[in-house]
Amino acid sequence: MSAKRTVSLLLHAHLPFGLRPELPVSLEEAWLFEATIDCYLPLLELISAEPGKKPRLAASLSPTLLEQWSHHDFTDRFAAHLDRLAAILKRECSDQSLPKERRELAEEMLLRNAQLAAHFVRKWSANLSAAWGHLASEGKVELLTTAATHAFLPAHQNSPLTRRLQIQLGIERFTALTGITPQGFWLPECGYYPGLEYDLAEAGIQWFAVENMNGSSVVRCPNDVTAIARQGELSQKVWDAHSGYPGHANYREFHQDAVHQLSHEQAGLYRLPDGGSLPLGLKYWRVTGKGEKDWYDPVVARQQAETDAQDFIESMARTPESFIFLPFDAELFGHWWHEGPYWLENVIQRASQHPALTLASPTDAISSLKDIPEGLPAASTWGHRADYSFWINPETDWIYPLLANAGRKLKDAIARSESDPLRRRAVNQLARELLLAQASDWPFMLRAGATAGYAEERLRRHLTRFQFLLNQLATEEIDAETLHALEQLDPIQPNLDLQRF
């Protein structure tokens, strides 16, 4: 009989802060609401069915995602979005001019969304941050977190203040919103450089994830923090855009949304002034191939997910490593890959019954390992070529000098904030704007191209607010009303007090 392999599955959940209560609808909220209904609510259902006591799955939840779920405007705005979506789906169901296949799929989507929406209120008490924390406290999932606004930390090697703020504030806000003290830490984009483990140790972190370690799956850093590496070959079976499971012809097509086929009147608020549309998730087709798309068949898709789950189990059982760490973007499961939660459920069930596999959370897996070798990971990310180039490149080079300069000015402002309450509030807001500007989402979007304009606008918006506040601090003419308005626009880290940094 082959030796047992310990498998740790981790889902990393993150979205930049994007609640826009001052607008009827927005692109940022469309992203948040679609991900919540397609991914995070189904994942909560899956995890709530776990036996508990010993978690078999881990999830990293970013503070900015948790902040949005916990915001007082989220519940009403999410409910309003679901009501508008339900009205559109009901119209699709009753429109006899539409093909039968489309009407049936709309009805299935309507029923599914209604059930998830009901669970959001009744089962999860309209508080998803607390829901995740509750499941973790029952031993159904291990929770960890990431940097406060998901900053790409290798870009801030020369700014100890930035790293402390991002790491410590991220952990503190996560704990405040979930009630959980994390043992592990997700480095944004798996961005690591030698020495970063000391910042993690200072924050009480015991382990972190990296992309690779030249063949080693786990090492103990000289400061006793453990690094665990992603198993690349198995990860590619899920991640790869061409050969990965989600690209199978039978799965639901992510990129084709019927919102673009609706009339201006039918789309309502989701039709933009320029003629474009916000995403709604009206997806009636399967991947099929590169040409025309066939109608989606949920039964066939679920059968395919079962087949792919079994293939993944067999691949894990053949893997020579005794410890297999498999982190994924959480939104792959349900959002980008509609059948992902069902596939994951099958993987968990089959792995728990396989004689060669044991599922364990990363913390439990590490504690069970004997004789972990001492070592140090190489600088890496989980991006293209495993280097920094997707975040630091000619399209993004202009960002980092601006952030570094702002970081130096923030440090000076903290030193001069003294005890004046209004001045301290202004300095705290100065820090919030810089934290928001530091999000790794902006250089990622700039490099990817599709939403580059939005990313640049967001980044410059926060740096402009930063400079505005800096000018007010310099002239000692702080406008309390304007400061209050800025505090409400992107209300992250509400209890921030920089005097201890």
The response to whether 382 counts as a known ligand-binding position is yes
Catalytic residue among 45, 306, 329, 479: 329
Cα 227 to Cα 135, 193, 362, distances in angstroms: 25, 12, 11
Catalytic-residue membership of 28? no
Residues 6+ away with beta carbon under 8 Å from 434: 403, 406, 407, 410, 462, 466
Using only C-alpha atoms, the chain has a radius of gyration, in whole angstroms, of 23
DSSP conformation class of 226 = E
The response to whether 441 counts as a known ligand-binding position is yes
Q: Are 438 and 399 in contact (CB under 8 A)?
A: no
* Range 77-84, long-range pairs (CB < 8 A, 24+ positions): 77/19, 77/21, 77/29, 77/33, 78/33, 78/36, 78/120, 79/117, 81/25, 81/29, 81/33, 82/33, 82/37, 82/113, 82/117, 84/268, 84/269, 84/270
Catalytic-residue membership of 329? yes
Q: Are 466 and 405 in contact (CB under 8 A)?
A: no
Q: Are 124 and 131 in contact (CB under 8 A)?
A: yes
Catalytic residue among 189, 199, 257, 345: 189
**Residue 191: how many other CB atoms lie within 10 Å:** 26
CA–chain centroid gap for 75, Å, is 19
Distance CA 228, CA 218 (A): 4
The response to whether 247 counts as a known ligand-binding position is yes
Q: Please give, one letter per residue, the 3-state secondary structure of 191-222.
A: CECCCHHHHHHHCCCCEEEECCCCCCCEEECC
**Residue 455: how many other CB atoms lie within 10 Å:** 23
Cα 460 to Cα 29, 80, 184, distances in angstroms: 20, 30, 32
Distance CA 193, CA 150 (A): 16
DSSP conformation class of 262 = S
Catalytic residue numbers, as ranges: 189, 329
Please report, in range form, the residues annotated as the binding site. Answer: 230, 247, 382, 441
Please report, in range form, the residues annotated as the binding site for substrate. Answer: 230, 247, 382, 441
